[in-house]
Amino acid sequence: MPRPTAAQLAYGTATVVCSTLVMLLLSGTTAGLGIAVIGIAALSLGLLVALSLPANSRAATARTAPAPRSATPQATPPATSAQLPGQRGEARVGQPSLRR
């Protein structure tokens, strides 16, 4: 199960807090059972709002549309005598090595 996004958490939390306050103010209940029912209703509404938001647009498009492939295959550069057996011909960047 994927994790919820920040937008889902924010909208769900705001819905729970706002709907709880509005329902408590409109109903005027002071009984514990009424407050519990309002709390459960607010939590359910917040969960519904959070789940109705789209999860992640980048992940959804990556699953639905495959990446287009080029018509010509990319050729690997031929190995030269200057390359060591472990090298593949990647471009070197002038940074220090992390190996000791």
Residue 13, number of CB atoms within 10 A of its CB: 13
- As a residue count, the chain comes to 100
- Pair 50, 9: CB distance under 8 Å: yes
Give the pLDDT of residue 19: 94
pLDDT of residue 97: 74
In a 3-state reduction of DSSP, which class is residue 69? Answer: coil
pLDDT at 34 over 60: yes
pLDDT, averaged across the chain? 77
Quick one: pLDDT at residue 14? 93
Query: Does residue 44 contact residue 91 with C-beta atoms inside 8 Å?
Result: no
Reduced to 3 states (helix: H, G, I; strand: E, B; else coil), residue 65 is: coil
What's the pTM value of the predicted model, to 2 decimals?
A: 0.52
Helix (H, G, I), strand (E, B) or coil at 88: coil
Q: Which pLDDT score is estimated for 99?
A: 74
Which range of 29-38, 70-79, 81-90 scores highest in mean pLDDT? It is 29-38
For residue 53, how many other CB atoms are within 10 A of its CB?
14
What is the predicted pLDDT for the residue at 87? Answer: 58
Angle at 19 between CA 41 and CA 39, to 5 degrees: 35
